[in-house]
Each structure stands twice: as C-alpha cells, then as structure tokens.
Structure 1
C-alpha cells in the first residue's frame, strides 16, 4: 500500500525545500518510483527538484471547463480527462510529478475533480510513496483529492507567525475531519539555539516539535544555481536533520 506523506505550512517556511529533501531520502533508499504531488498554488515543488512542468491539472480543468466539456468523438468524459491528466505528469528519474496549479476560470469543477480523485487513487498502487506539498489551507486535502494521509508534516520557520500557522493547520485538520494517521511538527530554518520567545509560543499553544532543522545556506545556493535539492550532499546539516526525522517517521 502506498505511504502518503503530506506537507503543510505557511509560505516562506521552507516547506517545499523540506518536501524535496524528504523525496531525496526516500528515493536514495529504494523508495522509487515515487509520486510527488504539488498542491500548492505557488507550484515550486518541481522547481526544487529541477523537474520541468509543462502542464498542470489546473490548466487541464480550465480547458475542459472553457470548452464546456466537449470531447473528441469516441471518448467518454472520464477517459478524455484521464488522458489529459496522464499527459500532465512530469517524469524524472525515480520521481513522477503532478502539479495541481491554480484553479483557473469560472464554473463548476465538481465532475472533473471527482475524475481527478479517481485518477490519483488509481495511480497510487504504482508507487511506494506519495509526497504531497500543500498550502496552509489544505484545499486539496479538504476536497478529498486523496483517500487518506498517513503522515501530515506541518512546517514552521523560526517565527511566531509560523508557529501560529501550525496551530491554524491543526485546527483545520480537526474541523475538516481529515483521515490522518500521524501528525508531525517541524521547526525549520532555526539558528543554533531556538529563541525563547518561539519556545514560549510553542508551549502556550501546546505544540511540541518533533525535529528542529537548522538554517542551511546551501539550500539557497542550490536555488540560485537552479540545481535539484535531490542532489544535496550527505554532509548538509538540513539533509542530516531530515534523514533523522525520516527514520523516526518510517519506524
């Protein structure tokens, strides 16, 4: 059965970079083929892994809606959308990426979203792992795009706002009644010592981090050079922290 790992957190926390390092860990340890799903409208998951994205699910749905559901002769709507969704998969060594993109255009997406859910459900048995990068609002999870989540990894940077967003995500999970087996809290981009004010806010909200990932300038260097974070070296402090976290998550 596919192990599903979903990321959540506010923009600027380094959430997507950590998602890339999680993919790195899994692929290097026999987790390929792996399905990566970029469900954040910012759509940076592919950029972080240097995977070129030519089409998104959002653009497929927008085209379908703009054409008022018209399809070529001899195809059902389900079959047509499944072909288009398959064409939107960006393939790389060990990783297949689906980018949701933005919800473009007006109109009802109820039917195509149901087809998308069925499409992903049918894809998942082909993969050992699925890693999904979400926005803080968990839009695609709330739509039921995936049946269940094994691990929700909630990421905050070393800030009060980031920590409070963690609390908002936890509240959303409860309100939406999402099927999530385990929840994890990661403090990212931390200095050598976590500031007492950040610790105090965590304590006030009753949040206990599972791991603290140190600030890693090499991630910025890779971004500037447009290099894949999947190629980060083993001696990177962020890589080491995520590797230790993943051992805990998979144990």
Structure 2
C-alpha cells in the first residue's frame, strides 16, 4: 500500500471549540474544505454539534432532520413503554441516524441540533452517542464543530479525539475562555485528547500576531495557527454565502490549509513557525 493510501485510512477525530463569536464555525468549514481537497482525509464526516446549526449554512448543506429531532422521536417511542415500542425503537434508530446524514460531493454532514424535551434522558443520550459512534466508524476523518465550551462534545458526540483545537479571537475574553477549556481538558479530563492547541482567528497584522504568540506561551498551549482577518470571508458572511466556497488564495483559507497540513495531515510540525503567520 502506498504512503498516501495509508494516510487516508488512518482514523482521525478532530474537535473545534471556543468562545461563541470567535469564528470557529467558519474555521471548521474551511478545515473541511482543506481536508477534502488534500485527497488524504479519506471519507470525511463533519458533525455540527452547535445547536445554532451555523455549520450547515457555512457548508451549504441541508439535512432532513437533526439528531435533536431524532432524540424527540426516540423519547416519544420510549414513553409508550411496551414491548412493541422497544422493538420499534431498535429497528428505527439506525434508519433515523442514517436519514439524518447529508451526503455532499466531498464529505457528509450530521447536525446535532437541539432537543425540546426537558428532564433527564441519560439513557437516550447514551443510545444516540452509541449510534453516532457506530456511524463514525465508517468514516476515516471526523471533524466536530462544537458549541461554546465542551459540554456538548463530552455528552453526545465523542469521548476521545486525536486533536482538540481551541479557537480564540484577539480579545482578553477569548483568551480567558481558552484557559478555562485548557484546564477542563488537562486538569478535569472532561475529554481525552492526544493533542491540544490554540488557533487565533481574525488576526490583524504581524504586530497583533506577535502579541498572540506571547499569549499562547503564557497559556502553555502550542500555537496551531494564526488565521488573518479576511475581507472576502466577511463579505461571504454578510451575503449569506457558504464559506466553503471561498477562493483558495484568500488569506483565511490559505492559513487554514497550512494548519491542516501541519497539524492534521502529518506535516511533522504542530507549532506555527516563528516566521509564519498572519500578515494582512
């Protein structure tokens, strides 16, 4: 088997998290594009774990139902409580999960969405997570766009990831949130991950980039990337156009491609070089 074939079949689970409003949804969409274009990600699944479902518009995807809606159907069936209901549930779950999958040309998308039922449904959540884990096994690369913090990832989507990317904007609040997430992973062990690092988004020029490099050192986190502010990306957001369609030579997608190559595809260097980074 060729080296590229081996790389395509190496299982990779990546999660992106951070404070709300840092641009992690757009970043995840650009990562999906870079992974698909590399030809080395194998079968790619993008999971939108943010209840706001911003990833769907960023990718230009439409789903028949979200996993939150699947959860509602399961709860309604389980509430009947008879033997027929249990048999129906067992037959129906895999079908519902598969029907929730949106297959695009280069990857598939699964949206978690939001469940309306109140109360504790731990057994249902566990059942759903198991179904998602089984589905994910048929993909070589799984990319998760999580909601702010780690609760959703830990509860419903993944117990272990290969790489966890904390996204921050160039603000003190974003950096403070990154520190909280770092502690949740390293100290509290809310999720198991092999590599943890930070990506600063919407970076304005080299001077700000240097300040953020120092912030990463203080956080004692590897600096995975500096993604520059991008006028074309801002225009796409304003016009409601899918971020995944950004020109490849636009500053933000170019920086994300470099990040994906180094950190996710075995480029041999996780940390961003001192001479590299945002320069716009």
State if a TM-score over 0.5 links the two structures: yes
1:27 maps to 2:41: no
Matches within 5 A, 1:71-150: 75-143=87-155, 145-150=157-162
Instruction: Pick closer, same or farther for the CA change 1:200–1:73 going to 2, 3 Å.
Output: closer
Q: 2:236 aligns with which of 214, 222, 238?
A: 222
Q: Structure 1: any 5+ residue segments left out of the alignment?
A: none
The residue number in structure 2 matching 1:181 is: 194
1:3 maps to 2:30: no
Contact 1:27 1:34 in 2 (8 A): yes
Q: Tell me whether 199-208 or 104-113 shows the greater mean CA deviation.
A: 199-208
SS of aligned partner of 1:235: coil
The residue number in structure 2 matching 1:40 is: 50
CA shift at 1:136, angstroms? 2.7
CA shift at 1:76, angstroms? 4.2
CA shift at 1:239, angstroms? 1.0
CA shift at 1:67, angstroms? 4.7
CA shift at 1:195, angstroms? 6.9
CA shift at 1:147, angstroms? 4.0
CA shift at 1:215, angstroms? 0.3
C-alpha separation in 2, matches of 1:145 and 1:53: 18
1:168 maps to 2:180: yes
Q: 1:12 aligns with which of 21, 33, 36?
A: 21
Instruction: Pick closer, same or farther for the CA change 1:195–1:146 going to 2, 3 Å.
Output: closer
C-alpha separation in 2, matches of 1:195 and 1:2: 32
C-alpha separation in 1, matches of 2:35 and 2:67: 25
SS of aligned partner of 1:82: helix
1:56 maps to 2:66: yes
CA shift at 1:6, angstroms? 0.3
CA shift at 1:234, angstroms? 1.7
Q: Tell me the TM-score normalised to structure 1 length.
A: 0.90
Q: Tell me whether 204-213 or 72-81 shows the greater mean CA deviation.
A: 72-81
Contact 2:49 2:146 in 1 (8 A): yes
Contact 1:2 1:124 in 2 (8 A): no
Greater relative contact order (CA < 8 Å, ≥ 6 in sequence): 1
CA shift at 1:204, angstroms? 4.1
Instruction: Pick closer, same or farther for the CA change 1:110–1:205 going to 2, 3 Å.
Output: same
CA deviations on 1:179-209 (whole Å, 9 max, x unpaired) are 1011121000010131776566545443452
